[in-house]
Structure 1
Amino acid sequence: MKKLGFLSFGHWSTQNGSAVKNASDVLLQSIDLAVAAEELGLDGAYFRVHHFARQLASPFPLLAAVGARTSTIEIGTGVIDMRYENPLYMVEDSGAADLIAGGRLQLGISRGSPEQVIDGWRHFGYGPDKEAGEDEAAFARRHAEIYLAHLEGKGFAEPNPQPMFPNPPGLLRLEPHASGLRDRIWWGAASNATAEWAAQLGMNLQSSTLKVDETGEPFHVQQAKQIRAYRAAWKAAGHTRQPRVSVSRSIFGIVNDQDRMYFGQGGKESDSIGIIHDTRAVFGRGYADEPDRLIEQLKADEAIAEADTLLLTVPNTLGVDYNAHVIGTILTHVAPGLGWR
């Protein structure tokens, strides 16, 4: 058995063929797709977060709205760039969204991906501590550690002796507090070292469709090794609960002429190489084929086999109905053949 979710990049475009023309469209359709996915029996609805782009940006209003419209599906991000976040305000926002959703948030956080603007986080008022020799990656991890510490719900702030409203005894914590959310934070790791760091801090692991090329091996092999290194570090850290691990894939089952028109041309059947943050990275292949052949191809993906959660990247600009069809095809024609359902 494997948990299955969708991952939407939340694009909008005015180009012909796009069913998502503006920011209002993408927000409302994201909610509708989560509702449709829950009705189909999918386990999770996840959303990418990108600033200065025609994509989803501020996640918590969307997550809260999805939480209010659904009842069982997990609701998450993949990922929130911690360089842009006020960690304490994020504790409040995520706590409120989790309470609205009844404890269903699964938040992916990380350093983030290449940006639309140069050093975009500085426009938000944040940046590395240059005096301490901090780089962008360390700066993101510092914000993450502050966020995690305050999610615990321990009091730390001295109360006003003459408050407007009565205070509970002792130091005050941030409110609203969402019990259990600390165990539902995921780190998006591109390298083995950051995966091991995430394990030490007790975060779940999100590993997406790119990874630092550390060995020259195929993407899925490197990603599977990253997952094993993460689990070994988790065990060594002595955590008592079982960690969760997700991978993301573009997977399309071709069952009709519309599928064939969109995805029947091929072109992504192998890994590709790129440069991310001045580092060589390997990008995983996509999958698009008739269900029987798709099942055989997916059986050979070592990282999917290692993970307990698989996020299906969806082409959100093609609209809610078509993406519900994409999800339903995987659930009906592919997942049972792989033992995921």
Structure 2
Amino acid sequence: MAITHIGFLTPGNHPEDDPFPGLEQSLQLFRFGEDLGYDSAWVRQRHLERAVSSAATFLAAASQRTSRIGLGTAVIQMGYENPFRLAEDLATVDVLSRGRLHVGLSAGAPLHGALLGDRLFDGDPKGIDFSHARVARLRANLAGELLGDDDTFIESPAGRGRPRLNPPAPGLTDRLWYGGGSLRSAEWAGRNGFNLLLGNLNAGEKTDDFYAAQLSQLDLFLSNWSEARPPRVALGRVIVPTDGADARSRKRYRDFAAGRIERTRKPQGERRTLFAPDLVATSDEILERLRKDAVVGRVNELRLELPYDFAQEEYEQILADFSRHIAPRLGWRPAVTTIA
């Protein structure tokens, strides 16, 4: 086992009637993780929830609070987005962060599209292509190719120039990730040169075993990889070490895990969704379980998925315990000196 890259994913929750403290604490957590030596910090993008609804805006702010750590979003649902306008926003964040942005994406119709109606759609959504092609359009925009023919120019107060997406963000297309959770999505990501995000849920195709299903997706991704550069796979697991927690937090952690264990016992719903058990235990126990995780043994990038609605000091304790007591025993070394 050789985990060389450790990241974390935070939901960015905030109180319903006062969002500033939650968003500010999430920004502080990115800086805290950087000081601990984490390689990347990720934020979920969620709509109509008490969470970060605009990952690009949030990460633009994070780019000014940090100097080294990778900044990621997992995942942007492209059904809500305009592929050109989003590309402009992401390119701006990548420039502001000096090339530290990682963009996780997914295809499909927007989950709340029917509820939003004409608040989101300008026409009949039945005529909109929500397929993987929409994700590919975003990448094509980020490639920064010149628009029009050789005689196409734009006149502006800044002068005459060839039209292209601005600002240019060279290298960002190599840092695009696809949120895999099925054989189809894993194959598409590999065939189209998107890095692969694996998490703690997937589709139970041909098996009821979560780990067997995820290994099949990983194998399919790797066998279809189409780029000259090496493929990257980042694995997410819900990991909550209890070593440094006080009695109240340990109870909260145990209650959290107990409330979710039933969903891991069998496939859930028509899509047969499989869930990995949460790793809530002492560092020694978590390390033992990670070493038995067949998927962990196949990757070198691991991402802690932090639970929703924990206190800021609990998130800090989880990140500190993992970086001090678990990550080094997986082969990882911090990018900077760990906080004493």
Common fold by TM > 0.5 = yes
Q: Which residue of 1 aligns with 2:320?
A: 328
Residue 223 (str. 1) matches residue 219 (str. 2) = no
Q: Which amino acid aligns with 1:45?
A: A
SS in structure 2 at match of 1:179 = coil
Q: Which amino acid aligns with 1:139?
A: F
Over the residues paired in the alignment, what is the CA RMSD in angstroms?
2.4
Q: Which residue of 2 aligns with 1:8?
A: 10
Q: Which amino acid aligns with 1:291?
A: S
Determine the C-alpha separation between the residues in 1 that align with 2:38 and 2:186: 26
**What's the % identity of the aligned pairs?**
30
For each residue in 1:19-65, what CA deviation from the matched residue of structure 2 results, as whole angstroms up to 9, or x when unmatched? xx632122211110000010011111101111122211011111011
Residue 240 (str. 1) matches residue 228 (str. 2) = yes
Q: Which residue of 2 aligns with 1:185?
A: 176
1:167: how far off? 2.5
Tell me: CA distance 1:140–1:303, structure 2 relative to 1, closer, same or farther (3 Å).
Answer: same
Structure 2 alignment gaps of length 5 or more: 334-340
Residue 109 (str. 1) matches residue 100 (str. 2) = no
Q: Which residue of 2 aligns with 1:274?
A: 268
Q: Which residue of 2 aligns with 1:340?
A: 332
Matches within 5 A, 1:44-59: 44-59=40-55
1:203: how far off? 0.6
SS in structure 1 at match of 2:38 = coil
1:153: how far off? 1.0
Q: Which residue of 2 aligns with 1:165?
A: 158
Contact 2:108 2:132 survives alignment (8 Å): no
Matches within 5 A, 1:234-313: 234=225, 237=226, 239-255=227-243, 256=245, 257-265=247-255, 266-267=257-258, 268=260, 271-272=264-265, 273-275=267-269, 278-313=270-305
SS in structure 2 at match of 1:178 = coil
1:127: how far off? 7.5
Q: Which amino acid aligns with 2:6?
A: L
Contact 1:128 1:139 survives alignment (8 Å): no
SS in structure 2 at match of 1:32 = helix
Contact 2:249 2:314 survives alignment (8 Å): no
Aligned residues: 323
Determine the C-alpha separation between the residues in 2 that align with 1:78 and 1:323: 18
1:102: how far off? 0.8
Matches within 5 A, 1:61-72: 61-72=57-68
Q: Which residue of 2 aligns with 1:17?
A: none
In the superposition, the TM-score normalised over structure 2's length comes to 0.87
Determine the C-alpha separation between the residues in 2 that align with 1:316 and 1:39: 22
Q: Which amino acid aligns with 1:40?
A: L
In the superposition, the TM-score normalised over structure 1's length comes to 0.87
SS in structure 1 at match of 2:146 = coil
